[in-house]
Amino acid sequence: MNIFRTALLMAAMTALFMAVGALIGGQGGMILALVFALVTNLFAYWNADKLVLKMYKAREVDARGAPELVSIVHGLAMKAQLPNPKIYLIENPQPNAFATGRNPENAAVAATTGLLKLLNRAEIEAVMAHELAHVKNRDTLTMTLTATIAGAISMLAQFGLFFGGNRNSGMGILGTLLVVLLAPMAAMMVQMAISRTREYAADKTGAEICGNPMALASALNKLHRGAGDVSNEAAERNPATAHMFIVNPLHGLRLDKLFSTHPRMEERISRLSAMAGGSSAHQYMSQRETERPRSGHKTTRRRGPWG
């Protein structure tokens, strides 16, 4: 169902591009915009992993520096029948994680130090399984294709704004202005819908890889609250990367919520709970909460050798 919905949304974006191209740029303008967007996004596709890891000052770790984390990821990769990805740590108190790389052979997963401090081992396994699910489902390729089409639509809209559009379209000035304003917004909405669909798919596949949907539900709940409490300055400076993270790293501006690339957390947890065969993920999380000390009491967690 998720694959079908993604294909349907991508078909809708392609149709939107063709319609906007015909109305604003004509056939020549449409082809020019597509070629330029394709070249731009191909560069991003081949280099985005290096750029984003550098942007977040991620450092690669190995079995000597972070044996437990590396063991978790390698074990999950074997279950998922994937090559071992590169593993990175980000010195950031906000609990979060993401995957990047143009294909499974060139994949990388990254987790923040905040995530490793907040979650228990089962929850860390579930989060890493979610990130490997993005790799397995080739979501980087999907989002690159949608970014290409969305970028081409934006370029066509700018073409129409600066050059008056296709004089043979019969739209007139008002029609051209409406397309210029509404087409990029429509493309962005479709792009966000595809991103949310891929998150649902990664939740499902990740839960299957780790074999513990409730652990992923619990992790998502903790990460959602933790990300809301702790700022991620690098993400705030680069909001275009927000869709990569397992939970939204941006803070609660109204526009962040209106144009969120992530599904509602309640819905994600509900779907994982249904996967658990009717068991309540909320009850599981409540039980985890009772294990934590009451407010005002400090606790010392066992710190694993994360690096």
Q: Find out whether 114 and 92 touch, Cβ atoms under 8 Å.
A: yes
Backbone angles phi, psi at 269, to 5 degrees: -65, -40
Place of tokens 């819905």: 267
Q: Find out whether 96 and 232 touch, Cβ atoms under 8 Å.
A: yes
| Catalytic (active-site) positions | 131
Question: 3-class SS at 83?
Answer: coil
**Residue 271 burial class via C-beta count within 10 angstroms: exposed 0-12, middle 13-18, buried 19 and up:** middle
- The amino acid sitting at 144 is T
Question: 3-class SS at 110?
Answer: strand
Bridge partners of 116, per DSSP, are none
Bridge partners of 98, per DSSP, are 110, 245
Other beta carbons within 10 angstroms of residue 245's beta carbon come to 24
Q: What DSSP state is assigned to residue 244?
A: G
Q: What DSSP state is assigned to residue 295?
A: T
